[in-house]
Chain A
Amino acid sequence: MTTTFLRLHTQPDVPLEAEAISPVAIAGLSELGIEHLPVLHGNIKAKIGDFFKVTGKGVPDILLEGDLGKIKMIGAGMSAGSITIEGNVGMHVGIGMSGGEILVKGNASDWVGPEMSGGRIVVKGNAGHMIGSAFRGQAIGITGGEIFIHGDAKNEIGNSMRRGLIAIGGDAGDFTAVNMRAGTVIVMGKMGVRAGAGMIRGTVVCFEDAPMLPSFEFSCKYQPLFLRLYLIRLQENGFENKITDQHLNGKYRRYSGDGIELNRGEILLFSR
């Protein structure tokens, strides 16, 4: 069998922290071995088998079925392999991952891919707050990797990100790329207020008009060459309906900021 199949048979009553559902943890284990891996059900130690029926040996490609909205930390620290989730997923999916791919076919909750350094997370539905961001109290968020959200996402996307690419197919909330060190955030819908507050370097792109903070300054209207490359790559990765030729060939208004910080960041707004 080429995948390890986990089907949810019992919905947890309270949040289930399941960092064991990760290619790193299940590698080489038998079905029984996987079912005995520890998870935390609220404050009670439990086993994967208490909630999931496992089929297939521990190969690094995992298929999960069921509504996993209360299950946190799936794919924690993964460095290779893949996880496909046929439904919704809870918080902290792909926490600290450095490689491999996670595909969520439903919606994701808050903190998608916190502090990841590599790999890719794709969410077909909507996602919550703090996509690809730093944990509270940490100075640096994601340091690499790609997060693609096809639906909408809420506040603080890419908070303090240092490197990497985040693409949002729908609308974004407030404070997109707040305190950004570097990296790229592309929003294909509308963007909330106060984007790029405190950003030092990095790029925020939005296909719609967005309000600018007073510390951002209009620089010019131009056709950024690098952006075409990014957008073509996104077109090849499922965003073909969102990115048109106009976006590829059109001009963008560039605002530089944040003036309070280094002023090396930029916000590019698509200009029709």
Chain B
Amino acid sequence: MPEVIQSKPKEKKNIKIVKDATCTFCGCVCDDMELTVDLDEHRITKAKNACVLGRAWFYEHVLEDRPVVLIDGKEATLEEGMDTAAQILVDAKFPITYGLSDCTCEAQRVAVDIMDTINGNVDTTTSVCHGPSGMAFQGVGESTATLGEIRNRADLVIYWGGNPAESHPRHFTRYAVTPKGMYIPNGKKDRTVVLVDVRKTSSTPVADIFVQVKPGKDFEVLWALRALVKGKRISKDIEEQTGVSREMLDDLVYRMKNCQYGVLFLGMGLTMTRGRHFNSGAVYSLAADLNEFTHFVAKPVRGHGNVTGADNVVSWQTGYPFGVNFNRGYPRFNPGEFTTSDVLARGETDAAMIIASDPASNFSRRAIEHLAKIPVITMDTKETHTTKISKVRFAVATYGINTGGTVYRMDDVPISLRPAFDSPFPTDQEVLEGIRQRVKRLLTGSKARTAF
């Protein structure tokens, strides 16, 4: 007779439910997650309301067994790591900090303070993302709104140079396309959605109107729209130049002028292609021009979870959003001169502190070569190309899952985090505060850095 296998009764697991948790994967920062946490296995087993990216973010988070601090590849204590890091920063003549977009605002403000103390250079991943929008914002201003306002009011939604279906999956359903709002009672039926891109993407089916622009011709189309909105003439060969017909442009202008509340969402298809800050500037200017006829706003669709927080923190502490230099003891802003990819490519820095970012995998070859030559301090939750070349490497806890704090959604709304479970690793903030304390101690009295 075959042996009867009796199933054992399931052991009751140590389960915790975290309601209204926040997903910090992308700039949407959805704060309606309901997480089921297995406290025995230290992992999240269910993330209700999360999108495909959010589920990957929560489910694939496990506590890795690795040393908290490595100095030159050898295991060390947290104190030794912070001592060495502080000494590297104080000894450097042109120290830089970069990254910051995947940690809390509380950690970001300490990082900026360290650079302020040692007269260093502060830059964030904004400089290779929506930095041009930051520059355009300074140049031409911004007509802005929160995503809540857009959800409740916008009846014309234009996405330009982005693919939110894949990069920000809940942007459509939570904020701008399908949700019903106070003045948009029927959701998508009451909205016109326009998508402008150089090719069809998985976002295209959402759009009522798809405008296909020849690659690298966004600025020309935006400029033609601005001219038409102002009632000015445009050249006859516009379709030949840009791939967009005059009829299509006239129709768009009519819709933009006659909507109740319009919004232009700009993606990195504008900020990281030829023209960069002028492309963003053209979008902001178009939105500003349209306010003569109706209410129109423009918002960049930001990538990383807290990159908007990085802009806010660096702005409130220095007056500028990214690419800020403290060499003279006061902040100076000059993208191109003080942005990390340029500073590294020209070989100008002699120490770097990289927080929650991996420039060694995506910067130019010259920049990476220089990064490999100088002492690098890294703080990251995972092993990356940058942590491998670093002199001092801190393994830190993951924000939003293991640590609390504040992050900013892409529309500059601050949101508090509700962590799921504890981590054996320190937070970025704790490490940075330790380094700050040591840096300040090393630079007391006559050694304090003063203004030039």
Binding site for B on A (CB under 8 A): 13-15, 17, 38, 40-45, 70, 91, 110-111, 129-130, 135-137, 174-175, 178, 193-194, 197, 211-217, 259-260, 263
Contact = CB atoms under 8 A, between A and B. Distances in A.
B235 A214 contact: yes
Given A193-B274, A194-B275, A43 B138 contact: no
Interface residues of B, number: 40
Nearest to B93: A42
B336 A197 contact: no
Q: Which of A13, A129, A212 has the most CB of B within 10 A?
A: A13
Given A14-B348, A174-B275, A214 B328 contact: no
Contacts of A263: 232
Contact of A17 (B220, B232, B327): B327
26 contacts: A13-B93, A13-B94, A13-B350, A14-B348, A15-B94, A15-B348, A17-B452, A42-B92, A43-B94, A43-B95, A43-B326, A43-B327, A44-B93, A91-B337, A130-B336, A136-B139, A136-B335, A137-B139, A175-B275, A178-B278, A194-B219, A197-B219, A214-B242, A215-B226, A217-B233, A259-B232
Given A137-B139, A259-B227, A110 B336 contact: yes
A215 B234 contact: yes
A45 B451 CA distance: 10
A129 B336 CA distance: 9
B227 A215 contact: yes
Contacts of A135: 334
A44 B95 CA distance: 11
A211 B237 CA distance: 12
Describe B's contact surface by its main secondary structure.
loop
Contacts of B326: 43
Contacts of A214: 220, 223-224, 227, 234-235, 238, 241-242
Contacts of B386: none
A42 B327 CA distance: 6
Given A42-B327, A137-B333, A178-B278, 12 more contacts: A17-B327, A17-B328, A43-B93, A43-B94, A111-B337, A137-B138, A175-B278, A194-B219, A194-B220, A194-B275, A194-B278, A214-B234
A193 to B, nearest CB: 7
Name the 4 nearest CB pairs between A and B, nearest first.
Answer: A42-B93, A43-B119, A14-B94, A42-B94
